[in-house]
Structure 1
Amino acid sequence: MITLEEQQLREHLVVEEITFAIPAQSFAISCAISAEEALPVVTEFALRIAYVCGTLSPAQIQDFFGFSKKETDAVLKSLLDERLLQWNDEHLELTTYALARFQDSSDNLPRFFKIQDWSAEVVFDLISFSPAGRPNRLKRVRSQIELATRNLDKQSRTRQYAEQSFQQNFRQICTKEKAEIYKISAIDAGERFSIPLPCTFHLDLGGQTSIRRNIDDESFGSRLEISEAITDALASQERGDNECFRDFIQTFDDTLLQSYVTGDAFDLRRYAQEVHLTRFVRPVDDRVTPMLGALYLPRNAGLLLERIQAAVAQLDTRFEHEPPSTEGTEADTKEAAKTTHPAQWEALWWAPQSPLWARTRSARDLAQKIERLMAPQGGERISTGLHVVVPTARRSPRERLAVYQDQFSRLLAADVVLMGGSLELLLVPDALVCAMFHFNLAHNATAVPIGFMSSAPEHIASAGALVSARMRGRSDSVTAAREEGGSALIDSLAQLMARLMPPREVDADGSTKGGRVRLTLKK
């Protein structure tokens, strides 16, 4: 059990969230059980009197309960018929069977059991074969990372393993007090589905900096087989490198990150502590906010949405007070008004190459909220809203698109990577940019996104120049996720690329010439 302080520290150092899919199956189970039977109050008290006193007479029962003779005769008949009391001369005493019910009890109360039918639908995960309660049931969701068992025998003999687990965990499954299995009559295998298991990953700054995972689920968090399956799933994923980290710093003139670089090493521990925990080091420019972790994490998503909303509102206000120039023809004036004062905004979310990126419902939620900010009046034009582009290096476009098809509505794939696939950009033209470098740690499958969010025009221009330069002449490498409306979506992306191209000169590597806001240190 972790302390509150440790929990708060973890929340500040969370860098990724991934939802895993646990294979599961339902089973219809029918059996006979031996369950405790509640005795009528009068019957139980009569037995307890006989147990304490040794013997009792019909007159004592009649006087104790205030019964009439007819009522007393009815109680006695019931006790005698059920072999709970027997005659000994003129008195009544417990039978051997009834006496054993007291002797087998730890609280000197008679315990009686009877055989009864019991049936229920029971769900087991197909990795640990533990009962899963009443989980959320999902058909295959490609955005979730599917887990697999190391024991291949379990995959082909699910019914046998379910029966074994049912017997071992019956008291957890059956809510009847002190019930026991008498005989299993039938176990019928039902549908297979997936159980979503969200998992967060946080920086551990103690000792050698590493990434640890945390499962906030009582049902699965402590199961060794589930933990092993997650380890196996992460180990099979592609890993990136940090070869382009200096390019990231130079492209955005990020002197804050540069101050934590010594030789070829980046001091991630000191950066996380001083910039994100103690906030002892801050940028001078208020338009720039250092970011740590995936953009769809709750703390980052809330800040991002707030900044997008403020930036869009500010630009809308500026456009209202700055009408387009009246110079030129009337047609030119109308076209300028249309392009410089959009009623609906568009944005670009360029994914990193990492196969672990956006494998959680949180990414979908963030995209939908950005969409609503882009088109607050509910616009339906395909050119408006959030365009999500996933790079396809080393993977086929359809394979990459299939992973995210249920996550994003305007999804495209491009055979183009930014900074070796380590750069993630979320760009709202003229308003905001989030630039995140996915920094890789040795022996860790998940990367640590580090970077900044900025509304400085120079940063927005640098990001736009980088993307447009990499996409120049590569329009044929773009694939839409859906055939319906796919061509229009590709054209819309091309128009967005043209809009991102800055009017000033661009270097061959995609970085812009000219001044940029510097992320200077403020102590």
Structure 2
Amino acid sequence: MEFIINEATFSLPCRSFVIDYAVSERRKLAVVKEFTIRLLYALKGISPERVANYFGFTVEETQIVLASLQEERLIKWVDGQVELTTYAYDRFEEVKGRAEPRFFEVEDKVDSVTFDLLTFKLIAESSSGSISPTNMEIPLPNNAMNNLVKKAKSAFDKQFNTFVEKLKGIDTYSNPIELYKINQVYNRNDRLVPVRIQYVVTDETASAPSIRYVDEWMEEWDEDKSLYSAICEQTESVGIAQTNIGVALDEYVSLTRDPIILNFFRKDRFDFCAALKTFESNKGIFELETRMLVGNFYLDHNRELIHSLLDYKFGNEAKVPGKGILWNIEPSDKVWGRCPDAESFLQSLEQRLDERKRPLRTVMTIKVNSKSDSFKVKERYGIFRCDFQGLNKHIGNSQVEILLIPGVLVACSFHFILENNYPLTLPIGFVTTAEDRITNVENALRQALGNPAHSNEYFEKFDVERDNTVLESKIFKILGG
């Protein structure tokens, strides 16, 4: 069984160009003209009278046809006889043992095209992703911005058939079009194309996740795997591995009372294979109100599970009696929340808060060491439109994630570090609507956040009154005292 453990959206730098070019297209002659050409090709040179007699034309009709052919440089007059021009002779091709005329016309065109700046491949399809501050960047080589017009001209020449078929929607087999020449190329504007990817594991490959594109067309587009390699480099970190896993797991379990995770901790190592096989065999069910989680909370399968538990306890799509949401995470060096799904997941939970309770929405608690750290977090995750609370010390440790709606639901995960793949992590944990399990986590968070030494005001505006800080005006109210 495959497990999607995370999703991320990368921003691929691209540039659009306006290209002035000419194409040559096969065209059909009018039937009378074509058969006149065929007659002249067979007989080499004949008099106008013989043309008229052959087709039954009047003198005037013959003059009109021949004048039109001469205007198109297809015939010439030699000693009163009509002959094909060299240009017309060259238009005949051997097809199944006989000569067939093939005529072309040249037409000027202007189009806007986009190439990525990593490999200069044509962007001809639409992406299902979106541009967001949470997107991860794809670094470009040092020379990527050199000679862009020259690169665009060369790329358009090489990829012209793709352009015609994918962007113009023309079947080049039945309607052959050839690039005649490129007149001019102009820079237009830079843009980013969102590239959605999923990190996938199986019970046998939990420590070696694979990457796949969400948009199927990307597989063919990136046939040489150049973009794939650039993305892989963002989650390759040779030498980084999980250390002191026993201590870190003890801190997590002491805080969250996770009833499942220690079942797979054996002889100072975590048995990912057993954990994922167990999840597969019982579909993650531990108790009626408690389920095992694999992957980040905001992934589709976990989002559906969390909402299904709320539906079961409070009614289908019913409002829940929560004062707000607390989300504790250490995202600074993880591939966490780097996709639109995290934002939409949070919004889906906030929409279920009962407005009659005057909910305070969401507060994210994050360890930051300075005002500049807080600015970086807000720049990336400000799109969530939540409040932020700075911590001097992690709640539990940097691998602990907790999402709490007091009295309603709690989801907890331990982010296992994957050797040589950090900052990608494998989150495994649980979600529950059981009151006793929720209360345990509420009390632990109330104790941690109630200690003045654990929090700071780096996210606050300057000169804010203490009663108006996020801690006092929101967190303590969400926790109910």
Contact 1:297–1:362 (Cα < 8 Å) also in 2: yes
Of the structure 1 ranges 195-204 and 410-419, higher mean CA displacement relative to structure 2 is found in 410-419
Q: Give me the whole-angstrom Cα distance separating, in 2, the residues matched to 1:215 and 1:148.
A: 18
Q: Give me the whole-angstrom Cα distance separating, in 2, the residues matched to 1:63 and 1:416.
A: 102
Aligned equivalent of 2:227? 226
Q: Give me the whole-angstrom Cα distance separating, in 2, the residues matched to 1:400 and 1:237.
A: 26
Q: Give me the whole-angstrom Cα distance separating, in 1, the residues matched to 2:285 and 2:349.
A: 27
Aligned equivalent of 1:296? 298
Q: After TM superposition, list the pairs within 5 Å mapping 1:33-432 onto structure 2.
A: 33-48=23-38, 70-85=60-75, 94-103=84-93, 109-133=100-124, 135=126, 141-149=132-140, 151-174=141-164, 175=168, 177=172, 178-206=176-204, 209-217=207-215, 218-219=217-218, 220-235=221-236, 241=242, 242=245, 243-275=247-279, 277-279=280-282, 282-283=285-286, 285-312=287-314, 345-353=323-331, 354-375=333-354, 384-392=360-368, 396-432=373-409
Aligned equivalent of 2:436? 458
Aligned equivalent of 1:519? none
**What's the RMSD between the two structures over aligned residues?**
3.9
Of the structure 1 ranges 94-103 and 259-268, higher mean CA displacement relative to structure 2 is found in 94-103
CA 1:373–1:64 in structure 2 vs 1: closer, same or farther (change >3 Å)? farther
Question: SS state of the match for residue 443, structure 1?
Answer: coil
CA 1:161–1:437 in structure 2 vs 1: closer, same or farther (change >3 Å)? same
Question: SS state of the match for residue 367, structure 1?
Answer: helix
* Superposed CA offset, 1:462-510 (max 9, x none): 22223222222147514448889994644333324642x7xxxxxxxxx
* Superposed CA offset, 1:137-171 (max 9, x none): 9997421001112x311124333322332222223
Of the structure 1 ranges 358-367 and 55-64, higher mean CA displacement relative to structure 2 is found in 55-64
Using the TM superposition, give the Cα deviation of residue 35 of structure 1 relative to its aligned residue in structure 2, in angstroms: 4.0
User: Whose strand fraction is larger, Structure 1's or Structure 2's?
Assistant: 2
Q: Give me the whole-angstrom Cα distance separating, in 1, the residues matched to 2:364 and 2:7.
A: 19
- For residue 232 of structure 2, what is the amino acid of its counterpart? T
In structure 1, list runs of 5 or more residues that go unmatched.
1-8, 318-340, 502-523
Using the TM superposition, give the Cα deviation of residue 248 of structure 1 relative to its aligned residue in structure 2, in angstroms: 2.7
Aligned equivalent of 1:494? 475
Contact 2:350–2:361 (Cα < 8 Å) also in 1: yes
Q: Give me the whole-angstrom Cα distance separating, in 1, the residues matched to 2:150 and 2:282.
A: 56
TM-score (norm 2): 0.81
CA 1:80–1:482 in structure 2 vs 1: closer, same or farther (change >3 Å)? farther
Using the TM superposition, give the Cα deviation of residue 450 of structure 1 relative to its aligned residue in structure 2, in angstroms: 0.8
4+ residue stretches of structure 1 with deviation over 6 A? Answer: 52-67, 87-91, 104-107, 136-140, 236-240, 481-486
CA 1:304–1:54 in structure 2 vs 1: closer, same or farther (change >3 Å)? farther
Q: Give me the whole-angstrom Cα distance separating, in 2, the residues matched to 1:470 and 1:26.
A: 52
TM-score (norm 1): 0.75
- For residue 10 of structure 2, what is the amino acid of its counterpart? F
In structure 2, list runs of 5 or more residues that go unmatched.
none
Q: Give me the whole-angstrom Cα distance separating, in 1, the residues matched to 2:184 and 2:158.
A: 17
